[in-house]
Amino acid sequence: MNLDLAVLDAFRGLTGGDPEGIWRAPGRINLIGEHTDYNDGFVLPFALPQAAYLAASRRDDNRIRIVSVDLGERFETDLADLAPNHDGWHAYLAGVFWALREAGHDVGGADLALASDVPIGAGLSSSAAIECVLVEALNDLYDLGIDPMARAVLARRTENGYVGAPTGLMDQAASMLCTAGHALFLDCRSLSVDQVPLDPGAHGRAILVVDTGTRHSHAGGEYATRRADCEQAARELGVPALRDVAADGLDERLAGLSDERLVRRARHVITENDRVLQACAALRRDDFAALGELMTASHASMRGDYEITEESVDLTVQTALDAGATGARMTGGGFGGCVLVLAPVESLGAITAAVTTAFVDSGRSAPATFVARPSAGAGRLN
């Protein structure tokens, strides 16, 4: 069943009536620019067709009632009872009410029915999709007049302040602001954006996503330690953020850092920022060969310097390159999840077969794969 119909049905089951509207907000995949967002740097994600769908109506009694189609569960609370560090699937929704009210927006209760086909824990921003679809719905329903970037910032506030994950802005900005046929260049300091045309199909290429199926349970803790390392490196270098360090003459610039680990962490972030700028330039001249090289270099940097890859993503990248990919890299927070493979369309079959064989031969389950098409950001369906 289409997810818009699924949430309509579930909403009727919850309330006995029709919703005021149905909204959609997508997951994202990051073309390049990993772990740069919380360093005030650059990112280049695009929105996926996979998305969270929400049927919603206002309530006038400050109650929030939610039904999850995917889990077959319900949750109910009062606006007055919302408090940070709440866990469970509903935190990503309850936290949006909290973030909006904390920012001074006059938002009341709601009835909500949610469904999503963004794979969970795969590095495709399933949580940002949920936060963004609700911010979008409440902005419309309560006529809040919040602009799209401020809506993304509020969705991130939910994740940081309510759920308690110290993430950057990339995922929410992508879900909120991406447009079909484009990647979103975002400067995470100025919050300026640029829609960069991304149409690999017009050049005989495709972007294949390989979900390795690996989910690392310590990813949250590792994310926080990487972030702390970057902050320490910036402090030692006397700059507000690693964004402020130029990529040329890097060895010399980083030589004064107190620890070899900090040198590697900083080198990843600084060179990755530079790769994002180069990737934008490559896309603007339709140079997919250069884009592929930058993606592969990004992966090497995440593996060697940032140390956030693991065996299944490294195996996927190497196998895809050996089977004819133009470039390949892990995408998202790390320690598993998905690999993005840029390849000539005619090599997709061989690459998928080679990766599947490599997985099965090494005792893993065959990975899920799909071709990613840059899709639209959050919006109202009806």
Among 14, 19, 24, 35, binds ligand GLA (CB under 6 A): 35
Smallest distance, Å, CB 248 to ligand GLA?
A: 23
Q: How far is CA 87 from CA 83, 92, 131, 161, 163, in A?
A: 10, 8, 14, 12, 6
Residues in 273-332 that interact with ligand GLA by CB under 6 A: 332
Angle between helices 126-141 and 148-157 (to 10 degrees): 120
125-164 footprint of ligand GLA as x/- string (CB under 6 A): ----------------------------------------
Stretch touching ligand GLA by CB under 6 A, among 64-72, 93-101, 165-173, 371-379: 165-173
What CA–CA distance (Å, rounded) separates 156 from 72? 26
Q: Please give the order of strands across the beta sheet that includes 193-197.
A: 42-43, 182-187, 193-197
Stretch touching ligand GLA by CB under 6 A, among 34-42, 78-86, 262-270, 364-372: 34-42
Query: Which three-class secondary structure state does DSSP give residue 179?
Result: coil
The answer to whether residue 333 forms part of the interface with ligand GLA (CB under 6 A) is: yes
The verdict on whether 194 is a catalytic residue reads no
Task: Please name the amino acid found at residue 169.
Answer: L
Q: Please, which residue, 333 or 367, has the CB nearer to ligand GLA? A: 333
CA nearest neighbour of 170 among 125, 207, 119: 125
The answer to whether residue 38 forms part of the interface with ligand GLA (CB under 6 A) is: yes
Q: Please, which residue, 38 or 53, has the CB nearer to ligand GLA? A: 38
Q: Please, which residue, 225 or 362, has the CB nearer to ligand GLA? A: 225
Smallest distance, Å, CB 33 to ligand GLA?
A: 7
Q: Please, which residue, 115 or 173, has the CB nearer to ligand GLA? A: 173
CB atoms inside a 10 Å sphere around CB 252 = 8
Maximum Cα–Cα distance for the chain, whole Å? 67
Q: What is the per-residue DSSP string for 50-101?
A: EEEEEEEEEESSSEEEEEETTTTEEEEEEGGG--SS--STTHHHHHHHHHHH
Smallest distance, Å, CB 107 to ligand GLA?
A: 24
The answer to whether residue 34 forms part of the interface with ligand GLA (CB under 6 A) is: yes
Query: Which of 171, 211, 229, 274 is an active site residue?
Result: 171
The answer to whether residue 98 forms part of the interface with ligand GLA (CB under 6 A) is: no
Contact (Cβ atoms closer than 8 angstroms) between residue 114 and residue 74: no
The answer to whether residue 167 forms part of the interface with ligand GLA (CB under 6 A) is: yes
Which residue(s) pair with 341 in the sheet? 208, 328
Q: Please, which residue, 131 or 136, has the CB nearer to ligand GLA? A: 131
Q: Please, which residue, 8 or 184, has the CB nearer to ligand GLA? A: 184
Q: Please, which residue, 171 or 229, has the CB nearer to ligand GLA? A: 171
Residues in 169-208 that interact with ligand GLA by CB under 6 A: 170-171
Query: Which three-class secondary structure state does DSSP give residue 336?
Result: coil
Stretch touching ligand GLA by CB under 6 A, among 30-38, 62-70, 321-329, 342-350: 30-38
Among 19, 119, 121, 168, binds ligand GLA (CB under 6 A): 168
What CA–CA distance (Å, rounded) separates 156 from 366? 33
Query: Which three-class secondary structure state does DSSP give residue 285?
Result: coil
324 burial class (0-12, 13-18, 19+ CB within 10 angstroms)?
Answer: middle
Smallest distance, Å, CB 376 to ligand GLA?
A: 20
Stretch touching ligand GLA by CB under 6 A, among 14-22, 33-41, 99-107, 137-145: 33-41
Contact (Cβ atoms closer than 8 angstroms) between residue 214 and residue 310: yes
| Catalytic residue positions, numbered | 171
For ligand GLA, the binding residues (CB under 6 A) are 34-35, 37-38, 167-168, 170-171, 332-333
